[in-house]
Amino acid sequence: MSDSSSPRWVVPGYLTEVNGHLNINGADAVELARQYGTPLYVFSEARITDNINRLKSAATSVWPRVKLCYASKANSTMAVLNVVKGSGIDLEVNSGGELFQALKVGFTGDQIIFNGVAKTEREIEEAINADIFAINVDSLYELDLIVGVAERLKRTANVTLRLVPEIITRSHVGLQTALYKSKFGLSPQEVQKGFDRALSSKYVRLRGIHIHVGSQTPDADAYARAFELMWHHMVLLYQRTGYQLDHVNLGGGIPVNYLRDDSEVDQIGERERVMLGATLDLSEILRTALDAIASQLTTSVSNAEEMLNKLTLLFEPGRSIIGDTGVMLTRIHNTKTRPETGDSWLLVDAGYNQLLPMNNYKWYYHAVAAERAAEPHTEKYKLAGPLCDGGDVFFDLEGNRLPDYRLLPNDVRSGDLIALLNVGAYTLAQLSRYNSRTAPAVIMISREGKAKVARRAESYEDLIARDSW
């Protein structure tokens, strides 16, 4: 652990301060920015692996049969997928493109599950031909589509039905995916009909049932309610048909603590503090979920305990693997003051085109002065990005969901380097070229502290490479 004199953002072995500079897994952030330019995404191989090992340890401490499938939508950069593959866990994909990446990097079909609300026939065909572990079915219509493709190919489609109950969490409303008003999954009244349809085709293998309660979920009871409902439907299926599912998929949503450094927490609304500062652990999720059905083991069916003991429990962690492994380095290119308000403004070269959750969900990324990391961060600045868009700011124009000011050292100037922490999830994956701003380079820091280009920075020529005129 860090000593009491260390900044609160310090993560020993990963994020530290060395000779006044921010150090990322042994690499000097200031030198990285000098060599590769800004904005710059920097990821830590060691932190990704350590996060995966932590999740594996938490899972196996509670249940012997757990399959972890990294949610590649959180960050599908090939270098990241390669580290995930090397860690020994599996993968969840959400499109034909992500399936292509998964197979290209070396995942085998039995390591892949496929989510999505509008899968095309081409994507379904590709999934069946790859003999993936499970296609998570989003509707009765989609199930009929899968049956049709499987029968045309005369190949078996492995399927799991995705259920959407009414489970409310304390996450952002846009991240809650188990509500009746959400676009995902089959309703509870459709699930048994879906089971019967799957069992009626000789080219479909029914494998499991799935609920994803949403992302950055702070409470274990949401998972308990999900597991209880899936167990009910699993037992009902067995009572009606004698067919037993081989897995229950509890989805992802395991949170990352974005408020490790809580120096600005008093500027953030209460609901956002609960969500952004969540510390829910996978072992707690599993214990709570299993406890939820304990009383039913003696009242549902005679062999209920045997059924449970045969189950594999699936999880789809994305954010909890990649979220705190990424840092965005951005340089100040303009400063200004507002005499009317007394505000000091810092205009940096990273905006919501590289940090879209900041705009979509008012997400908080802690800021550190990379060249002055050991100095007190006590001065208030308005931080904003470079885009020609009034919403490209690091505060909330509409309320109190983000801090109005960012705390940095005294007398920060144009040319100084700022590091934004915990940017690993849903930033690079949602990158845009708004204002024709080229995509930054992506750097992966090896366990030995060596920097490797995982994706080169785009050039102006790249902006028009696919255009015709």
d(C-alpha 115, C-alpha 138), whole Å: 8
Query: Which residues, at least 6 apart from 460, have a Cβ–Cβ distance to it below 8 Å?
Result: 438
Tokens, residue 197: 């349809």
DSSP-based helix, strand, coil % in the chain, nearest 5:
35, 20, 45
Residue pointed to by tokens 């069992």: 199
- What interhelical angle do 96-105 and 121-129 show, nearest 10? 20
Cα distances from 135 to residues 93, 125, 144, 200, 235, in angstroms, run: 10, 11, 13, 17, 21
Q: Tell me whether residue 388 is one of the annotated catalytic residues.
A: yes
Q: Other CB atoms closer than 10 Å to residue 137's CB: what's the count?
A: 30
List the one residue out of 258, 257, 301 whose CA is nearest residue 281. 257
d(C-alpha 78, C-alpha 229), whole Å: 36
Cα distances from 168 to residues 71, 179, 182, 187, 305, in angstroms, run: 22, 7, 11, 15, 29
- Cis before 39 (ω within 30): yes
Q: What beta strand segments (E) does 305-447 contain? A: 312-315, 326-338, 343-348, 367-369, 379-384, 406-408, 417-421, 441-445
Q: What beta strand segments (E) does 322-426 contain? A: 326-338, 343-348, 367-369, 379-384, 406-408, 417-421
Scored b (16 or more CB within 10 A) or e, 394-415 reads bbbeeeebbbebbbbbeebeee
Bridge partners (DSSP) of residue 69 are 90
End-to-end CA distance of the chain: 58
Question: Which one is catalytic: 242, 342, 388, 397?
Answer: 388
Query: Which residues, at least 6 apart from 439, have a Cβ–Cβ distance to it below 8 Å?
Result: 431, 433, 455, 457, 458, 462
**Amino acid (one-letter) located at 132:** I
Catalytic residues: 388
